[in-house]
Amino acid sequence: MSSAAPRIVDIINLSSSADTLLRERVRAMRERGFDNRILCIDGPQVAALRAAGIPVHTVHLPRGFDPLRLLVALVEITAYLVRERVDLVHTHCSVPGVVGRIAAWLARVPVIVHTVHGFHLHEGMPCPLRRLTIGIERLCGAVTDTLLTQNRSDLGLAELYDIGPRERRRLIGNGIQLERFRPSLRAGAPGGAGSGGVAGPMTVTCVARLEPVKNHPMLFEAAAILRQRGEPIRLRLVGDGPLRAAYQERCRRLGIEADVEFLGYRSDIPELLAASDVAVLTSHKEGIPRAALEAMAMAVPVVATRVTGTQEVVRHGETGVLVEPGDVDGLAGALALLAGDPLLRAGMGARGRRVVVEEFDEQSVIESLRRVYQARLLARLGARPEPAFAWGEDVEAQPRVRR
């Protein structure tokens, strides 16, 4: 390795995902002596990331299966990695995980790390599609130096299907910046629980991209059931995506358009949660959902689908309520239960805050990741000690997350 700071590139799809998932982590790594950068699709958050001091390179990476655009993206990413002489590539999510790792292998990047944000494997998946998905994951795993997962279930799947290097599969977890999410903001907040129980519909906030995996239609159907029962909710959708227009039309057809606010992408999540009674997440799959962690950190109870990742965060009956994916009546019932019991909401919220403080502090995840980076860079490249890069004595330590 040269005497320069190790050059690391995180590859992810959307600029909004980069801003939400990587901004603070990359800034922390840069403060620790790594030349950490982000590569993503061009989008509205690129300028903000650059203004925060993070170098961002944009490529034409498609969201889905588009062979021609995937090939273009592969060429673009490979060329960038070669030109910049990158030491370590860290890929995230499915499409960037496949294209990014192949590009890194072609560019002969010494260390390739991938974080699983939820495998695309679920019960009921057609057998041929399941085999294809496992085959792609194993192929990419063959060029992966270290495989990280956000939850125990995905780590178990990696072990079961032999995905990634057998000796370097790790649970890295996920976390949030606790200092940003202070329950004290709820005191006197306008609307919802923060207003001290003002009469009116319960305020329910869903922070999720408007795309199929987040399964908003289930939420809309539940809201329609509650309106039919004369128990409407005030539903706020935070996030944007390609399905916004379709979802607005769906709400109109269900007769709930007056109950639903499409707020788009927002940076004031703590304030929005401060004015919420309940948070909801109806995803088909998750890694470790930050949306749930952020709500719990604000002492807001969570109603969510019982899926991999989410069920490791939301404790049923303690910090919120879990319902089966597709159980619209169950979701409506859970929301109605919490709407009618402010004391239950308060108790679940307080317990949720304790869980996040004890188990999901982002600083512990950053420290675990630093150890992974240092250990693998030393193992693959070697290094000369230098003041700018604080090589620790613990670089071979097993990454830890508090549980």
Q: What is the pLDDT of residues 84-125, one digit of tens each?
A: 999 999 999 999 999 999 999 999 999 999 999 988 776 667
The pTM assigned to this predicted structure is 0.84
State pLDDT tens for residues 241-273.
Answer: 999 999 999 999 999 999 999 999 999 999 999
The whole-chain average pLDDT of the chain stands at 90
Strand order in the sheet with 56-59: 56-59, 35-41, 7-11, 88-92, 111-116, 146-149, 169-171
- For domain 7-175+361-381, give the CATH number: 3.40.50.2000
pLDDT-flagged residues of the chain (< 70)? 1-3, 122-124, 187-199, 383-403
- The C-alpha angle 266, 286, 102, rounded to 5 degrees, equals 95
Joined together, the tokens standing for residue 337 give: 């239960």
247-276 exposure pattern, b = at least 16 Cβ within 10 A, e = fewer: beebbeebebeebbebeebeeebbbbbbbb
Numbered ranges of CATH 3.40.50.2000 in the chain: 7-175+361-381, 178-359
User: What contacts 40, CB < 8 A, 6 or more positions away?
Assistant: 11, 12, 13, 14, 15, 17, 18, 46, 56, 58, 59, 61, 96
State pLDDT tens for residues 277-317.
Answer: 999 999 999 999 999 999 999 999 999 999 999 999 999 99
- The C-alpha angle 225, 227, 232, rounded to 5 degrees, equals 120
Joined together, the tokens standing for residue 280 give: 């909801």
Please name the fold of domain 178-359: Rossmann fold (3.40.50)
Predicted pLDDT at 195:
40
